[in-house]
Chain A
Amino acid sequence: MDSAPASDGQVYLRTTVRTAAKLLVVGHFAVGKTTFVGTLSEIRPLRTEETMTQAGAVVDDLAGVNGKTTTTVAMDFGRLTLSDQLVLYLFGTPGQQRFTRLWQDMTRGALGALVLADTRRLQESFDVMGRLEEHGVPYAVAVNHFDGAPSFPQEEIREALDLLPETPLVVCDARDRISATRALIRLVQYLQTRTATTSIAQERV
């Protein structure tokens, strides 16, 4: 029985759960993704690792790079049971990798993404936001407040990140459950407004 997790109480889903929803928590290295997921998760956050080989890389635009590319990409994820029927999974994923298959896997079925940003390294968030846009994943931005990091007026951050007027921007503390929950709420509210305005166009899907 080596593979059964030690404490069973929290490991398995309630038998009544019928639907699993997925949200992504993305951002550059050390921006607080793992902390954010860990703060909200009811289970000890789990990690999966995927070795991306050259074959996977060539599908994307790394063709021409010499043949030794093998990268391990790790995803941390957690779970929140939201009701008897509904469970929400949060996937904390590095955004900078250009592996198409990985992105397809990650974004498939995702309702949206929360982009975590750090005011000391705002420019590092561009890559991630660009990738989400390419894959058609709607997102909100949450500035993760680090002790000692400078705080700027929202307008300046918006401008620095070149955000669309409708893209929500919130400040959160990834270590704080209430603060992290509020950031997700803002994201979901934004997703609702998008659904309302695009539902007619998507009727054929």
Chain B
Amino acid sequence: MTPSRKREKGLVRPYVVTDGRAHPTRNTFDLVTLVIAATDRPLSGLSPEELRMMRLCRPGALSVAEVAGHLALPVSVTKVLLGDLVDSGHIITRAPVPAAQLPDAQLLQEVLDGLRARL
């Protein structure tokens, strides 16, 4: 039942760009968490992947999933890198659904209104 530790190690190669980490420093990212780059941070010292992320996110807000899609990175890797960039102040996040301010019923009504308007 327990997998071989050695074999597991060999399978984390996609995570080279994250220094082998599979989980972000914070667990706040949803696929639709909206992120945008801060404009007042120096880009020196960032890794090539982090630089690509900053360039992508500078012009405007995108969801975590869109960042992953545009950069052709797995979502898990994207979350790790975005987590680092949030920690360093380079990336600012907006919560996906601020549940406290926007109850489900209100959100559903807004979604419904928006869809109906497209008919």
Is B16 close to A, CB under 8 A?
no
Which of chain A's residues have a CB closer than 8 A to the CB of B112? 185, 188-189, 192
Provide the bound-state CA to CA distance between A132 and B72, in Å: 27
Stretch from A83-91, A115-123, A145-153 forming part of the interface with B: A83-91
Instruction: Give Cα distance in the complex from A9 to B73, angstroms.
Output: 23
- CB of B1 within 8 A of CB of A63, answer yes
Known: A51-B74, A80-B114, A199-B105. Contact between A18 and B94, CB under 8 A?
yes
Query: Please, how many angstroms separate the alpha-carbon atoms of A85 and B70 in the complex?
Result: 23
Which residues of chain B (37-83) have a CB below 8 Å from chain A? 52-53, 55-56, 59-63, 65-66, 68-71, 73-76
Quick check: which of A25-33, A156-164, A166-174, A176-184 contacts chain B, the rest being far away? A176-184
Is there contact, CB below 8 Å, between A192 and B108?
yes
In the bound complex, how far is the Cα of B71 from the Cα of A5, in angstroms? 9
- Interface assignment of B87: CB less than 8 Å from any CB of chain A: no
Query: What chain A residues lie within 8 Å of B74 (beta carbons)?
Result: 48-51
Q: Given contacts A20-B96, A50-B74, are A89 and B65 in contact (CB under 8 A)?
A: yes
Q: Is A136 an interface residue (CB 8 A)?
A: no
Pick from B52, B75, B96: contact of A50, CB under 8 Å: B75
Contact with B along A36-67 (1 / 0, CB 8 A): 00000001001111110111001000011001
How many whole Å from A2's CB to the nearest CB in chain B?
7
A137 at the interface (CB under 8 A from B): no
Contact with A along B12-37 (1 / 0, CB 8 A): 10100000000000000011111000
Query: Does A109 contact B96, Cβ atoms closer than 8 Å?
Result: yes
A3 to B54, CA, bound (A): 9
**In contact, A185 and B11 (Cβ under 8 angstroms):** no
| B41 smallest CB distance to A (angstroms) | 17
Name the contact of A109 in the complex, choosing from B60, B97, B105, B108 (C-beta under 8 A). Answer: B97
Smallest CB gap from A83: residue in B: B114
CB of A53 within 8 A of CB of B11, answer yes
Evaluate contact between B114 and A86: CB separation under 8 angstroms: yes
- B52 partner, pick from A3, A46, A48, beta carbons under 8 A: A3
Q: Which A-chain residue is minimally distant from B11 (CB atoms)?
A: A53
**How far, in whole Å, are A3 and B59 apart by their CA atoms in the complex?**
12
The 6 closest A-B pairs by CB, nearest first: A82-B114, A12-B60, A46-B69, A3-B52, A20-B32, A53-B11
**New A-B pairs, 4, CB < 8 Å, besides A19-B98, A50-B74, A192-B105:** A3-B71, A18-B98, A49-B74, A181-B118
Residue pairs across A and B with Cβ atoms less than 8 A apart, 16 shown, are A13-B61, A20-B96, A43-B66, A47-B69, A48-B75, A50-B76, A53-B12, A58-B3, A88-B111, A89-B31, A105-B31, A108-B30, A181-B119, A182-B119, A195-B104, A195-B108
Query: Which B positions have Cβ atoms within 8 angstroms of A?
Result: 1, 3-4, 7-8, 11-12, 14, 30-34, 52-53, 55-56, 59-63, 65-66, 68-71, 73-76, 94, 96-98, 102, 104-105, 107-119
